[in-house]
Structure 1
Amino acid sequence: MLSRPSPLTDAVAALMTQACGRLVATQDEWLPPLTADALTAVGLEAAANDPALRAAAERAFHATFLDWFGHTMVHPGEPVPVRLNDAVRQISRELVLLGLEDVAISAYSAGQARAFALLIDAAFSVTDDPAELQILLETATWSMSSFVERTVAAVDDLMATEREDVARAGRAEVRQAVELVLSGAEITPGRAESRLGYRLDSSHVAIIAWTEQGEAGVSELETATRTIVHGGRRALAVAPSSSTRWLWTPGTELQAVVERVQATARQHAPVRFALGGPHSGIAGFRRSHREALRAQRFASGPASGERAVTVFDDVHLLSIMLSDQEEARDFVERVLGPFAGADASVIQTVAIFVESGCSVRETAARAFCHRNTVLRRLALARRDLPRPLEDNAVQVGVALRLVGHLERRAAVPGSS
């Protein structure tokens, strides 16, 4: 923070009052373009063009920069107190809902630069004395910088509170609103968004996080949920039970969400995740959650193996086939034939070979074995498979994945 300059002389204080007074009087001329320029400068062109969001930002900037000009007009050279009124609270909550907290802070800095440029012009309009201008602008630089710095800190704290409030899992009113939306009950998007604290008019990826590790797992579940909710664009989270969390995060890029969840899973081993695909609007909110539920059912229990993150797109075909286990067993038998009883190392090599696009070189690298070993195992597989491997690679890959799930489900009473 800049050090405070010496107190203003009466003459310079009068000039600062005059300069700020001119800006207060002409606020309708400079405030709208200042807002639009500040939003555009930090990559919020869409917000600048959204009438409702732009109006909210104008009110917040009005409450911030006009507050500085108005206070300085009356008390030139004195520190300006920070007051977060309803307009600042409204835009803070709106930007939290949009996941734009970081750029919101940058917008204040951009606004400060434009407000100071206005003050420079106003200063030159009231005096052309170099000494008076230097003192006036040095004092204004210290005062405005200090004011914006304290405002940004206060807004950051406010956003943290808003973020914690709208994202807190398990709140009864949020859970009830989620259940209404998921059930297809008659509730307007605006009312639902107000109760959820979450925008429904964009694309969503649903996530289900759960643990099967008791109290120790629940503690990790809470931490993992907070990590996802507060990381990147803000997510919605509710707690249907003590060991499960339902989440939705805005976005159309599934892979980006998967990578974020995988990073969280690596830090919180007892917690497992199932993800739906990205879908838009209220209908997409429901559909992605249904897909996440199907992925969770596919992933839960002994049939899941060791995978911590299950994505619906990766198991969609398998889940369809496993819905009729008798048909799935028949498919495996027809595709694999005697190969279903091959040595585990051979089966694993063939699975990697199929996943690698039938590349011997890549299979050897991924299986950590010599190329000749891969070729020998593939020869054994070709001997037992009913159809040539390269001509039937996709079905062989699906059948191999089905084998493990069928065996694990057969080991669970009541799962067949």
Structure 2
Amino acid sequence: MGARRPRTGDDWKLLAQACAALLERLPELVDEHVRELHDHSPAYGRVIGYDQHWQEARDAMRIGIETISAPRASPRRDLDHAEWLGRRRAEQGLPLDLMVHAYRLAGHQVWDALLEGAGSDARRLAVLMQSATMVWSAVDAQADTASEAYRATELELRRRTDEQLQALLDALLEGARSAEVAARAAAGLDLPERGRYAVVVLRTARRDLTHRRLEAEGLRFVWRMRTDCEVGVVSLDEGTGLDALAELMEGRCPGPGGISPVVVGLTELGRARRLAELALRTCPADAPAIVRLDRRMSGALVVSQPDLSSLLVSEVLGALLDLDPADRAVLLETLDVWLDCEGSAGRAASRLYCHRNTVFNRLRRLEQLTSRSLSRPRDLTEMTLALDAFRLSPG
């Protein structure tokens, strides 16, 4: 093949004439363009609407045709318009592939119309053939620019939507009981508005986010990060309860953490969050765990009433507080283990690595120091609550 002939001023003049003639046929071209698009997919009419689509297609096609014959140093108005149209189509929700299809179709229609206008004029045809690469490069650049703007806008819209949904979820967790807020959150997060929920509150020193990947049949997690903790909203299928949730989280999440009882409906998330935080407060700092409120009711009672908690410790365990710390720790550990073993001295002795008589001796000493009997239900209740209050006291 020989070298391509340089384009002359006469060539640009002929190209400008061809584009001017094409602009006179613009309404006809736009009619054909929009009709073919709507035949290709009903989404164009559903998302954009025929009249609006016709006007926007006319503007885009006019700017594209004018670009073909514009001097090379001219500003790329076609790319500015493509960027605007890409953002608009993303905001309207038209699928990206349909937007790109519209650009490709417009390119073919403009090119076919240019060839048709040249007829059998060899000179005009030669000028068009020499301009083919420029025309199709312009169409590609327009489609690429529109696509980049579309994707950027789509990401921004998704970010805004996520922020709005997070704000709705935060409002519910803070105690909002608005049916409208619950309905919007349910629709955006794809959660049942009247479903069964539990809330998990985790307080961690490090940001170990492996728990965010927790998955199990019947359980779905939505996490929110706070300054001092993380809050998880757990959607529970019918038949899935707290046993399954606690088992899944055990050993998989850094403690301490608290699990609320099951509540019904998104409007109850505020109450569930408060109960989960109460469960979290029953976790001693030296024994981090993920605990359920329904298994820590006595501890929850004392931590929720700090004045009563302090009074219980001083009134019930007063004499114990004067002992040597090591001696006091042995007695309280014995009581704790004995209670955990449901009052079995033999089982408690096995866990404490001592003789059962040693357990009995320590318990009798506790009774003497507290002036209470572990065989009397009321005294036993006070001792149990006082022990929880002592274990969970901040000092």
Residue among 248, 253, 264 paired with 1:280: 264
The equivalent of 1:404 in structure 2 is 391
Task: State the secondary structure of the residue aligned to 1:249.
Answer: strand
Deviations 1:123-169 (A, max 9, x none): xxxxxxxxxxxxxxxxxxxxxxxxxxxxxxxxxxxxxxxxxxxxx9x
Q: Does 1:339 align with 2:320?
A: yes
Q: CA RMSD in A?
A: 2.8
- 1:369 paired with 2:362, answer no
Corresponding residue to 2:252 among 264, 274, 277: 264
Contiguous gaps of at least 5 residues in structure 2: 1-158
Contact 1:298–1:304 (8 Å) recurs in 2:
no
What is the alpha-carbon distance in structure 2 between the residues aligned to residue 399 and residue 309 of structure 1?
22
Measure the CA separation in 2 of the matches of 1:350 and 1:297: 21
Shift of 1:237: 1.7
Q: 1:16-52, CA deviations, whole angstroms, 9 ceiling, x for partnerless residues?
A: xxxxxxxxxxxxxxxxxxxxxxxxxxxxxxxxxxxxx
* Deviation of 1:283 (Å): 3.5
Counterparts of 2:368 and 2:277 in 1: how far apart (Å)? 40
Partner of 1:388: 373
CA pair 280-323 structure 1, distance change in 2 beyond 3 A = closer
| Cα distance in structure 2, aligned partners of 1:293 and 1:386 | 34
Distance 2:387 2:280 in 1: 21
Amino acid at match of 1:383: Q
- Change in Cα spacing, 1:184 to 1:283, as seen in structure 2 (3 Å) is closer
Give distance in 2, aligned partners of 1:242 and 1:330: 32
Aligned length: 225
* Aligned-pair CA distance for 1:179: 2.4
- Report the 3-state secondary structure (helix = DSSP H, G, I; strand = E; otherwise coil) of the residue aligned with 1:247: strand
Q: Describe the SS at the equivalent of 1:327.
A: helix
> CA contact under 8 A between 1:233 and 1:249: conserved in structure 2?
no
Displacement of 1:197: 2.2
| CA distance in 1: counterparts of 2:166 and 2:297, whole angstroms | 28
Alignment of 1:7-406 (within 5 A): 171-182=162-173, 183-187=176-180, 189-212=182-205, 217-218=206-207, 220=208, 222-227=209-214, 230-241=215-226, 244-251=229-236, 253-265=241-253, 269=254, 271-297=255-281, 299=283, 304-342=285-323, 343=327, 344-391=329-376, 392-406=379-393
CA distance in 2, matches of 1:378, 1:237: 47
Q: 1:278 touches 1:284 (CA, 8 Å); kept in 2?
A: no
Displacement of 1:263: 3.0
8 Å CA contact 2:259, 2:276 repeated in 1? yes
Please say if residues 206 and 275 of structure 1, whose CA atoms lie closer than 8 Å, have aligned partners that are also in contact: yes
Question: C-alpha displacement at 1:341, in angstroms?
Answer: 4.2
Q: CA deviation at 1:296?
A: 3.4
How big is the shift at 1:277? 0.8
Offset at residue 238 of structure 1 (A): 3.0
Identical-residue share of aligned pairs (%): 19
In the TM superposition, what is the alpha-carbon distance from 1:360 to its structure 2 partner? 1.0
C-alpha separation in 2, matches of 1:381 and 1:242:
42
Secondary structure of 2:200 counterpart: strand
Between the aligned partners of 2:168 and 2:201, the Cα distance in structure 1 is: 17
Alpha carbons 1:177, 1:196 under 8 Å: kept: no
The 1:298/1:370 distance shift into structure 2, 3 A limit, reads closer
Q: Which amino acid aligns with 1:289?
A: R
Does structure 2 conserve the Cα–Cα contact (< 8 Å) formed by 1:211 and 1:244?
yes
Q: Quote the Cα distance in structure 2 between the aligned partners of 1:304 and 1:236.
A: 26
Q: Counterpart of 1:290 in structure 2: which amino acid? A: R
Query: CA–CA distance in 1 between the matches of 2:181 and 2:307?
Result: 44
Q: For the Cα contact (< 8 Å) 2:281–2:303, is it kept in 1?
A: no
Given that residues 181 and 187 in structure 1 are in contact (C-alpha distance below 8 angstroms), is that contact kept between their aligned partners in structure 2? no
TM, length-normalised to structure 2: 0.51
Match of 1:62 in 2: none
Contact 1:261 1:273 in 2 (8 A): no
Distance verdict in 2 for CA 1:174–1:188, change over 3 Å: closer
| Residues in 2 aligned to 1:393 and 1:250: alpha-carbon distance in whole angstroms | 38
| Structure 1 residues 322 and 296: alpha-carbon distance in aligned structure 2, compared to 1, 3 A threshold | closer
Which structure 1 residue ranges, 5 or more long, are not aligned?
1-167, 411-416
Indicate how the Cα distance of structure 1 residues 333 and 272 shifts in structure 2: closer, same or farther if over 3 A, else same.
Answer: closer
Is the contact between residue 165 and residue 185 of structure 2 (CA under 8 Å) also seen in structure 1? no
Structure number with greater Rg is 2
How many Å apart are 1:316 and its aligned residue?
Answer: 4.2
Distance 2:375 2:354 in 1: 21
Q: Is this contact kept in 1: 2:312–2:385, CA < 8 A?
A: no
1:314 to partner: Cα distance: 3.8
Aligned partner letter, 1:394 = T
